[in-house]
């Protein structure tokens, strides 16, 4: 009667405090430059080291510039954070993939591609999009800096056990509908707080049909509806993805691991605290029109009107549209855009660039559009060059930049100017997220590609 979440959680419980939190063992801590400095400072102040350094992987990604990575970082704050992580990793004997290292990239892209993220694991990082790793059949969630210190010191964390939710997508996805569209559709239906307090398991025919990379995209966005994390039961798609990767089990160890991984699924009679079902055929390519990821709609639809909204809801809705320069009831098709960004831990994997290329091949970027193509890791950069996608993009007028979080959150040089519209494959469209005054429309790589070549918001199915 156990859910997948229960099975993994229960297997990692060290002790339980009566009427209090659970002491949970953590299999993997991913550590980046933004949320770790104070945690390491705490260890130094206490005169202690890391309990299990082999379980910890460090790499910079948020502040990483996407050009001239072989030169010193110009921004002093960014440079300090990146340099501090380098020093902390060295001082505490931790694995560190620094800038220009062939294993560097966005931490949530590198973990799965290097076989560091495996089914049945508990995984944490001082970053909300740690939920990405749940796609591999792991319990993965973001934590705060004080909790990072806790894991560094003890390889455990104190956590209250969340409730469970299953979101089932029945049916088959239509042409041009990607995992990003599924995620934005769910968030639009659930709202940005609809899964608060829950750990979500995604299930159903449409979910099983997703590639591993699509599943990573879907789980990445779980946090945007308030969920503690998201996960998908591992299956043959998962096992094929893992097999042969650098840190994956091999030989007899593979057989042993595989036998265990095949048990990682919710029992048929498992009871979830909440069940939600959607129909795959109702999902079309999505785009956001507001200032949170829940303000999304099918690309052929119109922005909602304020009828039947509460006064409080109406006020925040209008404020959001005013920031975006849109009006209730308006269609976005044909709206001029200024920037296109493809990358981030949401859509910075090789499959995303293949999707993007499927539309831009043989075409030219619109003259007025600035487009940033940012691989999620050096491994993805290698793959797209090996497949000839670099030549295709350059021929179409695009610029390929070096790996990093880039314009997802503008902690680096890649900022969208105030008032400009950016169709972005990233995960958040908050006010100023991509730069002060920037206007972000979240979308899939297919929608981004269609906008890049036409210069306006376009239904990508017209190209397919």
Task: For residue 123, give the nearest of 79, 57, 222 by alpha carbon.
Answer: 57
| One domain, residues 252 and 293 | no
Q: How far apart are CA 427 and CA 220, in angstroms?
A: 8
Q: Average pLDDT in the 75-100 region? A: 97
pLDDT of residue 218: 98
| One domain, residues 121 and 236 | yes
Q: What is the CATH number of the domain that holds 52?
A: 3.30.499.10
Residue 121 included in any domain? yes
Q: What is the pLDDT of residues 116-167, one digit of tens each?
A: 999 999 999 999 999 999 999 999 999 999 999 999 999 999 999 999 999 9
| One domain, residues 241 and 356 | no
pLDDT above 90 (res 412):
no
Computed from CA positions of residues 110, 111, 115, 116, in that sequence, does the dihedral angle turn out positive or negative? positive
| One domain, residues 261 and 391 | no
Q: How far apart are CA 170 and CA 280, in angstroms?
A: 6
Residue 164 included in any domain? yes
Residue 281 included in any domain? no
Q: Average pLDDT in the 359-363 region? A: 98
Residue 303 included in any domain? yes
| One domain, residues 127 and 211 | yes
pLDDT above 90 (res 328):
yes
Supply the DSSP string of 98-146, one letter for each residue: -TT-TT-B-HHHHHHHTT-S-TT-EEEESSGGGGGGGGGS-EEEE--HH
Q: What is the pLDDT of residues 421-439, one digit of tens each?
A: 999 999 999 999 999 999 9
User: Are residues 192 and 102 in contact, defined by beta-carbon separation less than 8 angstroms?
Assistant: no
Residue 279 included in any domain? no
Radius of gyration of the chain (CA): 21
User: Are residues 34 and 62 in contact, defined by beta-carbon separation less than 8 angstroms?
Assistant: yes
Q: What is the pLDDT of residues 294-310, one digit of tens each?
A: 999 999 999 999 998 99
Q: What is the pLDDT of residues 13-30, one digit of tens each?
A: 999 988 899 999 999 999
Q: How far apart are CA 139 and CA 307, in angstroms?
A: 40
Number of structural domains, the chain? 2
What percent of the chain clears pLDDT 70, i.e. is strictly above it?
A: 100
Residue 337 included in any domain? yes
Going by C-beta distance under 8 Å and a sequence separation of 6 or more, which residues neighbour residue 125?
29, 30, 31, 32, 35, 107, 108, 142, 143
- b/e sequence 144-158, b meaning 16+ C-beta within 10 Å: ebebbbbbbbbbbbe
How many angstroms from the chain centroid is the CA of residue 71? 28
pLDDT of residue 426: 98
Q: How far apart are CA 226 and CA 228, in angstroms?
A: 7
Torsion of CA 11, 15, 16, 20, to 10 degrees: -120
Q: Which of 274, 296, 315 is the last residue of a domain?
A: 274
Measured at the CA of 221, the angle between CA 134 and CA 396, to 5 degrees, comes to 110
Angle between helices 212-220 and 179-190 (to 10 degrees): 30
Q: Which of 274, 297, 322 is the last residue of a domain?
A: 274
pLDDT of residue 1: 86
| One domain, residues 253 and 312 | no
pLDDT above 90 (res 89):
yes
Supply the DSSP string of 310-339, one letter for each residue: -HHHHHHHHHHHHHHT--TT-B-TT-B--E
| One domain, residues 222 and 118 | yes
| One domain, residues 319 and 384 | yes
Residue 258 included in any domain? yes
Q: Which helix (H) or strand (E) holds 240?
A: helix 236-242
| One domain, residues 24 and 114 | yes
| One domain, residues 307 and 262 | no
Residue 280 included in any domain? no
Provide the mean pLDDT of the chain.
97
Task: For residue 193, give the nearest of 230, 161, 227, 228 by alpha carbon.
Answer: 227
Domain limits for position 55 = 4-274
Task: For residue 28, give the nearest of 112, 144, 128 by alpha carbon.
Answer: 112
pLDDT above 90 (res 413):
no
Measured in degrees and rounded to the nearest 5, phi and psi for residue 383 equal -65, -45
CA distances from 277 to 215, 222, 256, 264 (A): 17, 16, 34, 22
How many angstroms from the chain centroid is the CA of residue 236? 22
Q: How confident is the model at residue 49 (pLDDT cuts 50, 70, 90)?
A: very high
Measured at the CA of 385, the angle between CA 384 and CA 390, to 5 degrees, comes to 85
pLDDT above 90 (res 184):
yes
| One domain, residues 305 and 269 | no
Going by C-beta distance under 8 Å and a sequence separation of 6 or more, which residues neighbour residue 124?
26, 28, 29, 30, 130, 140, 141, 142, 143, 147, 148, 151, 157
Q: What is the pLDDT of residues 257-269, one digit of tens each?
A: 999 999 999 999 9
Q: Which of 245, 274, 303 is the last residue of a domain?
A: 274
- b/e sequence 181-215, b meaning 16+ C-beta within 10 Å: bbbbbbbbbbebebbeebbbbbbbebbeebebbbb
pLDDT of residue 117: 98
Q: How many residues does the chain have?
A: 464
| One domain, residues 231 and 308 | no
Q: Average pLDDT in the 318-329 region? A: 98
Q: Average pLDDT in the 343-360 region? A: 98
């Amino acid at each position: 009667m156990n859910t997948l979440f229960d099975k993994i959680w229960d297997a990692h419980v060290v002790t339980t405090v009566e009427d209090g939190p659970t002491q949970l063992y953590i299999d993997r801590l991913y550590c980046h430059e933004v949320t770790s400095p104070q945690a390491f400072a705490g260890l130094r102040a206490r005169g202690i080291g890391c309990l299990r350094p082999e379980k910890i992987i460090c790499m910079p990604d948020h502040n990483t510039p996407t050009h001239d990575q072989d030169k010193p970082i110009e921004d002093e704050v960014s440079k300090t954070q990146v340099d501090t992580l380098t020093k902390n990793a060295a001082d505490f004997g931790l694995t560190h993939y620094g800038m220009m290292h062939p294993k560097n990239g966005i931490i949530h892209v590198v973990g799965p591609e290097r076989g560091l993220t495996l089914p049945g694991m508990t995984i944490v990082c001082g970053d909300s999009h740690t939920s990405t790793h749940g796609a591999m059949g792991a319990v993965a969630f973001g934590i705060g800096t004080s909790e990072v210190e806790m894991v560094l010191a003890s390889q455990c964390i104190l956590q209250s056990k969340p409730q469970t939710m299953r979101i089932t997508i029945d049916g088959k996805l239509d042409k041009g509908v990607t995992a990003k569209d599924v995620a934005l559709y769910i968030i639009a239906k659930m709202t940005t707080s609809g899964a608060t307090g829950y750990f979500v398991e995604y299930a159903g025919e449409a979910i099983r049909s997703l590639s591993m990379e699509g599943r990573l995209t879907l789980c990445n966005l779980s946090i945007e509806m308030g969920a503690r994390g998201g996960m998908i039961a591992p299956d043959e798609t998962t096992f094929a993805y893992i097999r042969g990767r650098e840190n994956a089990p091999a030989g007899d160890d593979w057989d042993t691991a595989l036998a265990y991984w095949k048990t990682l699924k919710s029992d048929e009679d498992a009871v979830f605290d909440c069940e939600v079902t959607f129909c795959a055929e109702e999902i079309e390519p999505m785009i956001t029109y507001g200032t949170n990821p829940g303000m999304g709609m099918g690309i052929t639809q119109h922005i909602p009107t304020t009828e039947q909204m509460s006064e409080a809801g109406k006020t925040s809705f209008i404020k959001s549209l005013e920031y975006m320069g849109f009006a209730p009831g308006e269609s976005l098709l044909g709206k001029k855009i200024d920037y296109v960004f493809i990358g981030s831990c949401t859509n910075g994997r090789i499959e995303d660039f293949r999707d993007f290329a499927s539309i831009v091949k043989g075409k030219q970027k619109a003259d007025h559009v600035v487009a940033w193509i940012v691989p999620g890791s050096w491994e993805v950069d290698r793959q797209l060059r090996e497949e000839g996608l670099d030549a295709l993009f350059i021929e179409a007028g695009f610029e390929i930049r070096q790996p990093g979080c880039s314009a997802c959150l503008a902690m680096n040089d890649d900022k969208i100017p105030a008032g400009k519209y950016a169709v972005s494959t990233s995960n958040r469209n908050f006010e100023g997220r991509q730069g002060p005054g920037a206007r972000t429309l979240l979308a899939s790589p297919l929608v981004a590609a269609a906008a890049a070549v036409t210069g306006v918001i376009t239904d990508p199915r017209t190209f397919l």
